Structure 1
């Protein structure tokens, strides 16, 4: 699992074209909520190795985050073949992350 948020984000049309299961996580390395959520997210991803995970640094003027209307961090957008099927904002337990993950990867 990627530890840091990528500062370079793909274009929205590239994300929309991704096949299969993808989770786009928006946040920053200095965000306390993001740091607290990392063990929960990592735990769920350990059971879903086939799911693509994009960690994208967000902030003012970041186009990808704005296209998803991100307001709070971390926000996890769960995609199936580029279409959003679930979203979690500031997850606080593995159950909620696991439930959203099961929508895109019922492993």
Structure 2
């Protein structure tokens, strides 16, 4: 599991072509909601080592977040073979995140 949001993000075309399970997590390192979501995220991600996890620093003018219509942080987008199958916004409990993971990590 990644622990820091980074400005470098894959292009949307790269993500759309990714095979398997991927979680895109949009947020910012200074965001209080994002910090609060980290313990449940860590708990839910345990045992899902095969899932690609990207922590994408989001904000105005960031094309990847806009392409997914991200409005609030953190937003977790669960992808299977490049297609969105679930989304969780501002999760506070591990089971909310685990539900999304169960849809992509078989």
TM bucket, shorter chain: over 0.9
Q: Secondary structure of 1:96's match?
A: helix
**TM-score of the two chains, using structure 2 as the length reference:** 0.97
Counterpart position of 1:96: 96
Poorly superposed stretches of 4+, deviation over 6 Å = none
Q: Gaps spanning 5+ residues in structure 1: where?
A: none
TM-score, with structure 1 as normaliser: 0.96
2:17 matched residue in structure 1: 17
Where in structure 2 are there 5+ consecutive unaligned residues?
none
Tell me by how many angstroms 1:87 deviates. Answer: 0.2
Question: Which residue in the other structure is 2:64 paired with?
Answer: 64
State the aligned residue count. 106
Cα RMSD for the two superposed structures: 0.7
Alignment of 1:4-83 (within 5 A): 4-83=4-83
Instruction: Quote the offset at 1:8 in angstroms.
Output: 1.2
